[in-house]
Structure 1
Amino acid sequence: MSQTITIPAERAGQEAPADLAERRAMMAAAAEAGMLPGPERPVAEDTVDGVRTLTVSPTSGTPRGYLLMLHGGGYRLGRPENDTRFAERLADRCGIEVVLPAYRLAPENPFPAGFNDAWKALVALRARIGDAPLLVGGDSAGGGLAAALGVYAAAQGVPRLDGALLFSPWVDMTITAASFKENAESDQLFPEASAQMASDTYMQGFDLQHPIASPLFADLSGFPPAFINVGNGESLRDDSLSFHAKLQQTGVRSELLGVDDMEHVAPVRSDDLTGAAESFEAAVLFVESLLG
């Protein structure tokens, strides 16, 4: 084991403010009306240890590996359906099964509730698939959760993880990276003010540098091989650059692809966005390198 990490007890949260509740309702209505990306084919829905999950299987053949994919949304928005089209494409290209958990959101469920749900889903998935290759992945806040899973699995010694796919991972809750100000004009999807509000909503006074909340501050010994993708004009550019550098300094294989003019988590949102196709192909090559 590389370190000892204590997960704090879950805490009572707060009622979602009216504006956040309204945003959630609008997104749900848009999804129901088919105005937001969703699955293009049937997906399996289940509840595992109290956590709702969606499972996307490859269209043909037995899965060569498995990916636990965590959606973004600043820990206060989003749902697994958001990432199903990306999951379908990756499942078919790589021949893997993708499991997408619906983790609890803040402010009703502050840190560490979302992580605990992700961990339950991960442990259950490893138990189901035996010794098959298993990766974790996510976009934005989901990328931060995926990184946290990698940190905690390494600290615990189990379950074994074979790789991590991190798209614009949010790995530092302190919101002090220079790229928040340097890229203020180029990143309107996740500006500094939104990040600060999301961090406050999620952490609710807890230690911002806890290694599970902010994996950038963790001991990364034993972290699985990682692929990190980010737009060079994103607010979270420095989160990706710093995490990549620390992984390399620790001796962990890490591949970083920074793309000019690419929006926040573009590869997960749509393959039509600038840089998305290039990033997706790089992710496929990385997964293939792990599966052999």
Structure 2
Amino acid sequence: MPSVRARLLAVAVAALRVHTTFDGPERIRRAVAGDRRRGPTPPPAKVRAGFSVREEELSGHRVHVVAPRDGAPSTRRVLYLHGGGWTLSITDPHWGLIAKLARRLDCAVIVPGFPLAPEHTARETFAMLLPLYAELAARADEGELTVMGDSSGGNLALSLAMQARTAGLPQPARLVLLSPCVDATFGDPGLARLDRRDPILPARGLPELGRVYAGDLDVRDPVVSPLFGTLAGLAPIAVFTGTRDVLNVDAHRLREKAERAGIPLAWHEFPGMLHVWPLFPIPEAADALERVAAFVTTEPVTVLGTGKEVRRSARE
């Protein structure tokens, strides 16, 4: 059963009518206009006070790097791709999770400000992200790299790994997908069934986001909808999904596809959790963070044909 704080969060989110943000083209246009007036949220003062926060240039683009302030971080690195329907900038809750990751994993978290739709499309987003990833992957002496994203950022993370494979680049050590959007068509009938339970994402408004992000690409192109790509050769994947998220149905489709292909996938389904619940100050978010840490610091091995997983230490 969800915690008291999780249940209160669901009530508050519903009362604030968060689900109207993406409820159709006109509301999306207004949300984007408001976002552009405000601009991306910089790392908040609390994060700057407690962590080392610096800007670096990677592949010609500025990125933020958040790391523990005291002492040298471990050799692990995380490339974090934020959600927001491909259209909205990074927010305070994202920075809060990024800081928690840096502390819990004792690592540097690299946070790029990538191009956003509708001004830019998937082609332009990956024209920036793929060279940036290639530069990070080439820095093998800096330690292993995990690619992680929430919602549409989870979409970017999975698609980026697929494109890295196609380009002959090394895979990251792991992929962590939080409430990922893996099918930008949003066409599965199960979304409509979950719609009445999800107070954050409106099923009927989501296809417009996929269309503006796809641009001149088919929305079923694996660059846009990685569920339609092949998983063979990708890094081990961890998926975190809540049962009150309309995207839960597509997360299940990804899991089933991985099982059919014999691809390692660690599955974490949280009963009663909303879309991107790890961003919020609730006990279930702390639980998810611990599971992320366990995945990043251990090597998952799938027993083929059983769907069961065993784990061994990545240091073994």
Scaled by the length of structure 1, the TM-score of the pair is 0.84
Change (3 A) 1:134 1:230: same
Change (3 A) 1:62 1:276: closer
Stretches of 4+ moved more than 6 A in 1?
Answer: none
> What is the 5 A alignment of 1:127-276?
127-130=138-141, 132-267=143-278, 269-270=279-280, 272-273=281-282, 275-276=284-285
Preserved contact between residue 161 and residue 171 of structure 2 (Cα < 8 Å): no
Question: In structure 2, what is the Cα distance between the partners aligned to 1:237 and 1:56?
Answer: 30
| Aligned counterpart for 1:49 among listed residues 49, 55, 59 | 59
Preserved contact between residue 71 and residue 82 of structure 1 (Cα < 8 Å): no
Q: Does 1:281 align with 2:290?
A: yes
Task: Map Cα deviations across residues 181-231 of structure 1 (whole Å, 9 max, x no partner).
Answer: 111122121111331221122123521111111110111110110110011
Q: Which residue of 1 aligns with 2:17?
A: none
Structure 2 residues not aligned, in runs of 5+ = 1-27, 300-313
Structure whose CA Rg is larger: 2
**Structure 1 residue 97, shift from structure 2 partner:** 1.5
**Structure 1 residue 248, shift from structure 2 partner:** 2.4
Secondary structure of 1:230's counterpart equals: strand
Q: Which residue of 2 aligns with 1:9?
A: none
Task: Map Cα deviations across residues 214-261 of structure 1 (whole Å, 9 max, x no partner).
Answer: 110111110110110011110110221111221222222101111112
Preserved contact between residue 51 and residue 68 of structure 2 (Cα < 8 Å): no
Question: In structure 2, what is the Cα distance between the partners aligned to 1:156 and 1:228?
Answer: 24
Q: Which sits farther off after the overlay, 241-250 or 100-109?
A: 241-250
Question: In structure 1, what is the Cα distance between the partners aligned to 2:103 and 2:82?
Answer: 19
Q: Aligned partner of 1:93: which letter? A: R
| Aligned counterpart for 2:80 among listed residues 69, 80, 88 | 69
Q: Aligned partner of 2:290: which letter? A: E
Secondary structure of 1:173's counterpart equals: coil
Secondary structure of 1:43's counterpart equals: strand
How high is the sequence identity, in percent, across the aligned residues? Answer: 26
**Structure 1 residue 131, shift from structure 2 partner:** 6.9
Preserved contact between residue 86 and residue 117 of structure 2 (Cα < 8 Å): yes
Change (3 A) 1:211 1:51: same
Q: Which sits farther off after the overlay, 20-29 or 155-164?
A: 20-29
Question: In structure 2, what is the Cα distance between the partners aligned to 1:262 and 1:74?
Answer: 19
| Aligned counterpart for 2:125 among listed residues 84, 103, 114 | 114
Task: Map Cα deviations across residues 106-160 of structure 1 (whole Å, 9 max, x no partner).
Answer: 1111122112222122112122343721111100000000001111222333123
Change (3 A) 1:80 1:102: farther
RMSD value, Cα = 2.6
Preserved contact between residue 177 and residue 237 of structure 2 (Cα < 8 Å): yes
